[in-house]
Amino acid sequence: MSSLESPQQLWTAKPLIFVVEDDEDIARLICYHLDSSGYLTRWFPDSSSVIEEAVRTVPSLFLLDVMIPGSDGFELCRHIRSTKVLSAAHIIFLTARGGETNRVKGLELGGDDYITKPFSPRELVARVRAVLRSSQDFSAPELLRLGQIEINTASMTVKVRETPVPTTVREFRLLDYLARHATRVFTRDQLLDAVWTEASFVTPRSVDVYVRRLREKIEQDPDNPAYLKTVRGIGYRFDVPKQ
């Protein structure tokens, strides 16, 4: 189900946001504030057609409720991240399910942010803007090779032993930042300041979640990492193993 845009509008430069929310009043409130802030929105009351429609017209961001008819928001997030054409899209959870366990689960599944209801529409727009801006502002020398890892900033891609490894924007930013400051130790707060530049709504625990996800993608043995090292009592550093 679409909200206010016409098919022609999909060709404008405005970012497209898919709003997956079963409560029509909340969905209308969300779409109104996002549309008024310069975004295009499409509303889906359940998960049934989200992937199909997203593959046809890839959105910049998915705004997912967790408790929706059909596949829940967590399962939908898994599906998005496993669909090649959608895997780089941003995902924000907007849900009544609070608590650390749900937040961590949302991040571990590939969410860029997690917002609990009730929410402030102004804060929602600010956090959407921050997440979308994160993939536009990041700049650095294009290519970096360290050990068996290749990081390409121009294409925002990572290869391990010549094999492409899919990453979210946040994962890429964190890996690239650590790799370009190899051997330097960073606290979690320093990494939050450097990588989550515009967002002040995350906690040091978020860094642990993203490091764990990256280890699972780039390390041969995630439990004994060769690249992403933990410095006990301080934080993390990127090491280049001897060949």
Does 44 have pLDDT greater than 90? yes
Does residue 118 sit in the same domain as residue 216? no
- Residue numbers of the domain that contains 216: 143-238
Does residue 229 sit in the same domain as residue 162? yes
Give me the pLDDT at residue 208, please.
93
Give me the pLDDT at residue 9, please.
36
CA dist 32 to 40, 101, 223, Å?
10, 31, 46
The CA distance from 220 to 222, in Å, is 6
Does 224 have pLDDT greater than 90? yes
Give me the pLDDT at residue 201, please.
64
- Domain-ending residue, one of 74, 102, 136: 136
CA dist 91 to 26, 60, 190, Å?
18, 9, 24
CATH of the domain at 170: 1.10.10.10
Give me the pLDDT at residue 197, please.
62
CA dist 196 to 66, 200, 238, Å?
23, 8, 18
pLDDT band at 131 (very low <50, low <70, confident <90, very high): confident
Does residue 148 sit in the same domain as residue 128? no
Number of folded domains that form the chain? 2
Does residue 150 sit in the same domain as residue 106? no
Q: Which of 57, 79, 58 is nearest to 68 (CA)?
A: 79
More confident residue, 15 or 3: 15
Q: Which residues contact 241 (CB under 8 A, 6 or more apart)?
A: 147, 226, 227
Q: What is the pLDDT of residues 143-168, one digit of tens each?
A: 888 889 999 887 889 999 999 999 98
Q: What is the pLDDT of residues 48-66, one digit of tens each?
A: 999 999 988 889 999 999 9
Q: What is the pLDDT of residues 171-187, one digit of tens each?
A: 999 999 899 888 888 88
More confident residue, 128 or 130: 128
Answer whether residue 113 is part of any domain. Answer: yes
Q: Which residues pair with 41 in a beta bridge?
A: 17
Q: What is the pLDDT of residues 67-98, one digit of tens each?
A: 998 889 999 999 998 888 888 889 999 988 88
The two structure tokens encoding residue 207: 């860094």
Does residue 173 sit in the same domain as residue 229? yes
Answer whether residue 200 is part of any domain. Answer: yes
The CA distance from 195 to 68, in Å, is 31
What is the average pLDDT value for the chain, to the nearest integer? Answer: 85
Give me the pLDDT at residue 154, please.
76
Note whether 119 and 132 are within 8 A (CB).
no
- Domain-ending residue, one of 120, 136, 152: 136
- 45-79 CB burial, b ≥16 within 10 A, e <16: bbbeebbebbeeeebbbbbbbbebeebbbbebbee
